[in-house]
Amino acid sequence: MGDTIFSKIIRKEIPADIVFESENVLAFKDINPQAPVHILIIPKIEIPRISDLDMKEHGYLITEIFDIANKLAKDFQISEDGFRLVFNCGSNGGQEVEHLHLHLLGGRQMKWPPG
C-alpha cells in the first residue's frame, strides 16, 4: 500500500485542521478549500480508491464516513441550505491523493455539471 500525505496526517506527522476523529475515521479541513466549508473525510486504513472497496469488508467504514459527513454538515451549519459530497476516483475522476476520501463541500451555490 502506498504511503500518502494523508497517512502522514493520520499519524500526526504533519499538521492538519482536524474537525473529527474516531477509531476508524478522520476528518480535516482541505488545505485548498473550494467552498467556504471544505472538509475531507477519510478512513484510517489505506484504501487507495473507491474502486478498491469491498463492501463486505469495508461497508462499516462507508457507513461511518456518511454518518460523519451528515454530522459535520450540521455542525458547520450547511445542512439546511444543502451541500455536496464527492468521491473522485482515478485520473479521469480528478483524484490526486490515492487514499480514499470524501469531500464535504458547502456554504455556496454549487454548479452542475462539475468541471
Residues annotated catalytic, as ranges: 101
d(CA 18, CA 4): 17
Instruction: For cell 475522476, name the residue.
Output: 93
Question: Is 7 near ligand 5GP (CB under 6 A)?
Answer: no
According to DSSP, the residues that pair with 105 across neighbouring strands are 38, 84
Minimum CB separation of residue 32 from ligand 5GP in Å reads 4
Binding residues for ligand 5GP, rule CB under 6 A, total 13
* HSE-up (13 A, CA, CB side) for residue 86: 20
Can residue 97 be called a binding residue for ligand 5GP (CB under 6 A)? yes
Q: Of 38-77, which residues contact ligand 5GP (CB under 6 A)?
A: 40
Q: By C-beta, is 56 or 112 nearer to ligand 5GP? A: 112
Sign of CA dihedral 50, 2, 66, 111: negative
Using rule CB under 6 A, residue 91 touches ligand 5GP: no
Q: How near is the Cβ of 87 to ligand 5GP at its closest, in Å?
A: 8
H or E element in which residue 58 lies: helix 55-75
Residues in the site for ligand 5GP, rule: CB under 6 A? 5, 16, 28-32, 40, 88, 94-97
